[in-house]
A and B are shown apart, each in its own frame.
Chain A
């Protein structure tokens, strides 16, 4: 997994500390701590994981192991508008792949990448449970149903203003 190198400011370190404390520094709460940290920072770079490891007294390798195990956690920053294409079975059968290809083409990025201006990132989801609306695309918290490749341009333009 690729990663970016960053330097944490003192207030950011304190923020992580307080997140760990809010869960009582308990080892069993690691996943909740990671959720909260990702909510705060947008992603989980190695430096954040190191602070958590120290604070909670869990080996950094173990924290890294958990972060990389779950697809919800990311070690690279997501775009301002994260685009996710559902590739669950229902969406696949109803043409999610062609929609995905259109997004790749329009945004000029591959799955797992973020556009150079930091505006969009592209990922695939495994079923958001909205199979009645297949194929489904989410941008941030917003959900688009029954998306056709022709709709892609319009969806992107909503976020370019």
Chain B
């Protein structure tokens, strides 16, 4: 599978910390990583710092979890270090499930050692000797490279007993996911690691007190770990100098959809959406108009023109009705129907809801059905209020982050594109031309030569007209099969 084409994208405005080695080193050679200061941070911390001091560095750097919720990483480590137990675990969440996000895959495939080094550093800080990487089975290349990296690190003595001649020992193993989006939630992930259904459980207790096999466990995401060695090498002050007041450092975004330059970009927090989409992304494909950008995956929201100049950080995105999530950024143009997009995400949520709590299991299904009604022209105005009310109930009452954020695509499109909902419901029209049931097939008189091909193809006899005269489609009989459009050689049949 090809790696994202980083080099095709303008490097201006980008700062590469998490992606510093991706595409630069040979990920299958540990020597390449070492030459780029690899494992230096681990050596330095083990010989010069106490675990408390090292946690202090991470806290001072201000780094927050890159997997979605943005919890301060240093605090998480401190909680785990203070939990008393003979056995603790370090877990790397590599179950990158947000459709449209692939930064974790790129890091694991392009720079696997940085994750191993960071996990060992975490192990030293919290007092754990075992690490697990929970990785999607859908990423075979990343799995292969991790396996190579782990055995190389063991050979070089960066994993195993008495690392760098210290008393610290640490080893890392792989655990495989099996395709369940909810397993990105840390309690669900831990249950899946234990061989169970990946259903989340109520917090507290947090994993830092009782996680894998009931032991204190620290779970961070791949991108978070990829920042750690650099923070130790360059210092907390350097890192906290990048970004905004509350969101430090950089964030990797996966730019995709209707934008000219697709791929991964790593930019300082505080950059605007406009800079990312129009300067780095090179604007909208085929010169079309920008309509919306969806951030935060299925849990995020659709932002519009008025949000383009908002500096990107955790708080601002939430205030706009979306979220950072893992950093998916999908750009949409005038041809995208926002009601269908909301329906698309709900379809995803319905499929991926684990079913444990009823607001998420039943509520999202009902949201989907309401959206489906609207998209097929059966919606009524009160449905829009029902959508909003139900969304708020689901947000307030769901057990885990999946249900608490799943109505975001509905709420954000209702807030930002209310007129589109209204035109679907009242005028039974889909302006973007996406909702098939709201469209009609139509023959452009000027283009029609009267060849009768469409009339002969029509299975219900909805097309009338004399030979060599413009034809006409009767919308009441038409079943919208599209046979006429396929047969017409003169571009006379259109969907409108």
A→B interface (CB under 8 Å): 26-32, 34-35, 65-66, 69-73, 87-94, 125-134, 141, 143, 145
B198: chain A residues at CB < 8 Å are 69-70
B→A interface (CB under 8 Å): 1-2, 4-5, 96-102, 105, 137-140, 175-181, 192-198, 213, 254, 256-258, 262-263, 294, 297-298, 328, 330, 332, 336, 341, 344-345, 348, 352, 354
Given A31-B195, A32-B175, A66-B196, 6 more pairs with CB closer than 8 A: A71-B178, A89-B100, A89-B256, A127-B101, A132-B5, A132-B263
Q: A27-B195, A129-B96, A131-B262 are in contact. Are A71 and B102 (CB under 8 A)?
A: no
A107 to B427, CA, bound (A): 37
Contact A132 B197 (CB under 8 A): no
A131 to B140, CA, bound (A): 17
A88 to B97, CA, bound (A): 10
A92: chain B residues at CB < 8 Å are 99, 344
Contact for B2 among A71, A93, A145, CB less than 8 A? A145
Contact B258 A89 (CB under 8 A): no
Q: A126-B181, A145-B2 are in contact. Are A90 and B176 (CB under 8 A)?
A: no
A63 to B452, CA, bound (A): 60
Q: A31-B176, A90-B256 are in contact. Are A132 and B99 (CB under 8 A)?
A: no
26 A-B residue pairs with Cβ-Cβ distance under 8 Å, sorted by A, are A27-B195, A29-B195, A30-B195, A30-B196, A34-B178, A35-B137, A35-B176, A66-B195, A69-B197, A70-B177, A70-B179, A71-B178, A89-B330, A89-B344, A89-B345, A90-B262, A94-B258, A125-B138, A126-B179, A129-B105, A131-B101, A131-B256, A132-B4, A132-B263, A133-B2, A134-B257
A134 to B332, CA, bound (A): 14
A130: chain B residues at CB < 8 Å are 1-2, 102
Contact A90 B354 (CB under 8 A): no
Contact B256 A70 (CB under 8 A): no
A143: chain B residues at CB < 8 Å are 1-2
Contact for A131 among B102, B177, B178, CB less than 8 A? B102
Q: A129-B139, A132-B262 are in contact. Are A90 and B257 (CB under 8 A)?
A: yes
A64 to B4, CA, bound (A): 37
Least CB distance, A40 to chain B, in whole angstroms: 15
Q: Which of B5, B99, B332 has the most CB of A within 10 A?
A: B99
The tally of CB-CB contacts under 8 A between chains A and B is 122
B192: chain A residues at CB < 8 Å are 31
Q: A27-B195, A72-B179, A89-B344 are in contact. Are A131 and B138 (CB under 8 A)?
A: no
Least CB distance, A85 to chain B, in whole angstroms: 13
Q: A129-B139, A130-B102, A143-B1 are in contact. Are A35 and B256 (CB under 8 A)?
A: no
Contact A69 B354 (CB under 8 A): yes
Contact A65 B197 (CB under 8 A): yes
A73: chain B residues at CB < 8 Å are 178-179
Contact for A88 among B4, B100, B196, B352, CB less than 8 A? B100
Least CB distance, B201 to chain A, in whole angstroms: 15
CB closest chain-B residue, reference A92 = B344
CB closest chain-B residue, reference A129 = B102
Contact A127 B258 (CB under 8 A): no
Q: A31-B192, A129-B139, A134-B256 are in contact. Are A90 and B180 (CB under 8 A)?
A: no
CB closest chain-B residue, reference A142 = B1
CB closest chain-A residue, reference B254 = A131
Contact A94 B4 (CB under 8 A): no
B336: chain A residues at CB < 8 Å are 93
**Which 9 A-B residue pairings sit nearest by Cβ, starting from the closest?**
A88-B99, A70-B178, A129-B102, A90-B256, A30-B195, A72-B179, A71-B179, A127-B99, A131-B256
Contact B2 A126 (CB under 8 A): no
CB closest chain-B residue, reference A63 = B195
Contact A35 B195 (CB under 8 A): no
Contact A72 B137 (CB under 8 A): yes
CB closest chain-B residue, reference A95 = B335
A129 to B179, CA, bound (A): 13
Least CB distance, A119 to chain B, in whole angstroms: 23
Contact A128 B138 (CB under 8 A): yes
Least CB distance, B304 to chain A, in whole angstroms: 16
CB closest chain-B residue, reference A69 = B197
A89 to B328, CA, bound (A): 9
Contact B180 A70 (CB under 8 A): yes
Contact B1 A93 (CB under 8 A): no
B197: chain A residues at CB < 8 Å are 65-66, 69
A72 to B177, CA, bound (A): 9
Contact B257 A94 (CB under 8 A): yes
